[in-house]
């Protein structure tokens, strides 16, 4: 956007601030009726019921049995499940709430943390369970669950919960819909912020390059970071890189029942398991060594990194000036850095970020 355009946009933005208070109030309070199939995804209503409900295992809901009352796993506990063996799903991480006998309006739900593998990509998801009365499939088919913490989800179909979510795209913060078919309809679990794969696959990076979407590829060229080998990065630098690359919404388990608020709005500190940091770093780097005990924020009592904010220190968003794709290597040049990225079938990884004179 040009500077003149910037001024126009801001002027109009300010002018919009002067519209009638009744319109602003309407935009806050007015709700619109969901479309037919969306009425059976009562996300906000379901999540609002989580607090104070009892818990059930997925199997017990399936068979209609009574809950046994196990507690929901804490984020730290769940995140410490072996990152070294991501292909092996562990035992179900969490419990489910009691299923209401309400004729299948999908009102009962709970947040459950799961790891799912779909077409080779591991998703770390918050799942909400409910029931759809109809067999409508709202979005495109994305694949089947090949591995999951909850074995009852293995083999389940995964659909886009939005008709705008294109098949095969991992880069969406719209929910994925995982449907487990039953004679009377589908049981579904709705996932939020499903992310746990590489930043880009090789094909995605090549597509972005071909399409000239260099700003997206410039995400590789992080400011305030430089190294010739990932192993050179000390743990504080790795933590800083983690914060720079983190999208707050991706931090699993931080949503509340109100879609317009996030749990992290209510907390005074952020307690991060080391595995949450390394899971994020694994999307960008190979061959690094992260020792959380070397970080100032490390709390040995909780074996966690305790931060007052997830906002990193100010840094400038880089703009790509030149990108070269040569075989398995992509070179991203910004104003002050040259970043070398290795493209593999499993993802694209930084090899080096070098400051230029």
Partner 1 sequence: MEDREIVDLYWAREEQALEETQSKYGAYCWRIAHNILRSREDSEECVNDTWLRAWNAMPPQRPAILSSFLGCITRNLSLDRYKAGRTGKRGGGQLPLALEELDYCLPGTQNVEQAVEEAELAQSVDRFLRSLPEKDCCIFLRRYWYVDSVLEIACRYHMAEGTVKSSLHRTRERLRVWLEQEGVG
**Under rule CB under 8 A, residue 14 binds partner 1:** yes
Nearer to partner 1, 50 or 83 (CB): 50
CB of 12 to partner 1, least distance (A): 4
**Under rule CB under 8 A, residue 6 binds partner 1:** yes
Nearer to partner 1, 100 or 174 (CB): 174
**Under rule CB under 8 A, residue 324 binds partner 1:** no
Nearer to partner 1, 58 or 270 (CB): 270
Nearer to partner 1, 25 or 229 (CB): 25
Binding track, positions 230-269, relative to partner 1; x by CB under 8 A: --------------x--------------xxx---x----
- Burial of residue 336 (number of CB atoms within 10 Å: 0-12, 13-18, 19+): middle
Pick the piece of the chain touching partner 1 (CB under 8 A) from 17-25, 123-131, 289-297, 341-349: 17-25
d(CA 140, CA 159): 5
Nearer to partner 1, 88 or 173 (CB): 173
**Under rule CB under 8 A, residue 68 binds partner 1:** no
Nearer to partner 1, 15 or 66 (CB): 15
CB of 84 to partner 1, least distance (A): 31
Q: Tokens 């993802």 belong to which residue?
A: 347
Q: Tokens 């004679």 belong to which residue?
A: 183
d(CA 188, CA 128): 8
Total of residues contacting partner 1 (CB under 8 A): 53
Instruction: Give the CA angle between residues 321, 325, 330 to the nearest 5°.
Output: 75
CB of 221 to partner 1, least distance (A): 15
Q: What are 43's two structure tokens?
A: 């996300």
CB of 13 to partner 1, least distance (A): 6
**Under rule CB under 8 A, residue 169 binds partner 1:** no
Pick the piece of the chain touching partner 1 (CB under 8 A) from 203-211, 295-303, 314-322, 349-357: 314-322
Q: What are 311's two structure tokens?
A: 């906002």
Write the DSSP assignment of 17-45 as a string of letters: TTS-HHHHHHHHH---PPPTGGGG--HHH
**Under rule CB under 8 A, residue 10 binds partner 1:** yes
Long-range contacts, 275-279 (Cβ 8 Å, 24+): 275/79, 275/80, 275/81, 275/83, 276/75, 276/79, 276/251, 276/252, 277/238, 277/239, 277/242, 277/305, 278/83, 279/79, 279/83, 279/124, 279/196
Pick the piece of the chain touching partner 1 (CB under 8 A) from 202-210, 278-286, 306-314, 346-354: 306-314
**Cα dist from 302 to 74, 238, 272, 352, whole Å:** 12, 20, 10, 33
Of residues 26-45, those binding partner 1 (CB under 8 A): 26-28, 30-35, 38-39, 43-44
- Burial of residue 115 (number of CB atoms within 10 Å: 0-12, 13-18, 19+): buried
d(CA 48, CA 253): 15
**Cα dist from 52 to 72, 91, 109, whole Å:** 12, 24, 12
d(CA 44, CA 46): 5
**Under rule CB under 8 A, residue 335 binds partner 1:** no
d(CA 39, CA 272): 35
**Under rule CB under 8 A, residue 17 binds partner 1:** yes
Q: Residues 136, 184, 231, 311: which binds partner 1 (CB under 8 A)?
A: 311
**Under rule CB under 8 A, residue 213 binds partner 1:** no
**Under rule CB under 8 A, residue 15 binds partner 1:** yes
d(CA 174, CA 192): 7
Site of interaction with partner 1 (CB under 8 A): 1, 4-6, 8-28, 30-35, 38-39, 43-44, 162-165, 173-174, 244, 259-261, 265, 309, 311-312, 314-317
């Amino acid at each position: 956007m040009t500077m003149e355009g910037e001024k126009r946009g801001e002027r109009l933005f300010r002018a919009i601030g002067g519209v009638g208070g009744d319109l602003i109030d309407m935009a806050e309070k007015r709700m619109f009726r969901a479309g037919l199939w969306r009425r059976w995804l009562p996300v906000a209503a379901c999540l609002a019921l989580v607090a104070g409900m009892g818990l059930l295992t997925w199997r017990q809901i399936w068979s209609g049995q009574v809950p046994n009352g196990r507690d929901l796993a804490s984020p730290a506990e769940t995140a410490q499940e072996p990152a070294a063996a991501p292909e092996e799903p562990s035992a179900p991480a969490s419990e489910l709430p009691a299923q209401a006998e309400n004729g299948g309006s999908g009102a009962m739900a709970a947040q459950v943390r799961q790891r799912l593998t779909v077409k080779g990509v591991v998703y770390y998801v918050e799942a909400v369970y409910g029931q759809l009365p109809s067999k409508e499939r709202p979005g495109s088919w994305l694949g089947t669950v090949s591995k999951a913490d909850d074995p009852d989800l293995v083999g389940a179909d995964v659909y886009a919960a939005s008709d705008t979510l294109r098949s095969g795209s991992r880069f969406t913060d719209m929910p994925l819909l995982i449907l487990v078919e039953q004679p009377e309809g589908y049981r579904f679990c709705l996932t939020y912020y499903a992310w746990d794969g590489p930043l880009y696959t090789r094909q995605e990076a090549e597509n972005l390059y071909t399409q000239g979407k260099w700003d997206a590829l410039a995400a590789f060229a992080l400011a305030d970071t430089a190294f010739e080998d990932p192993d050179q990065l000390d743990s504080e630098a790795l933590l800083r890189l983690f914060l720079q690359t983190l999208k707050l919404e991706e931090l699993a388990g931080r949503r509340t029942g109100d879609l317009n608020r996030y749990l992290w709005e209510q907390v005074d500190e952020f307690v991060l398991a080391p595995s949450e940091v390394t899971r994020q770093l694994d999307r960008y780097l190979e061959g690094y060594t992260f020792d959380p005990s070397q970080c100032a924020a490390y709390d040995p009592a909780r074996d966690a990194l305790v931060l007052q904010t997830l906002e990193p220190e100010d840094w400038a968003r880089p703009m790509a000036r030149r990108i070269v794709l040569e075989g398995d290597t992509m070179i991203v040049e910004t104003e002050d850095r040259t970043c070398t990225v290795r493209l593999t079938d499993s993802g694209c990884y930084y090899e080096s970020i070098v400051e230029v004179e």
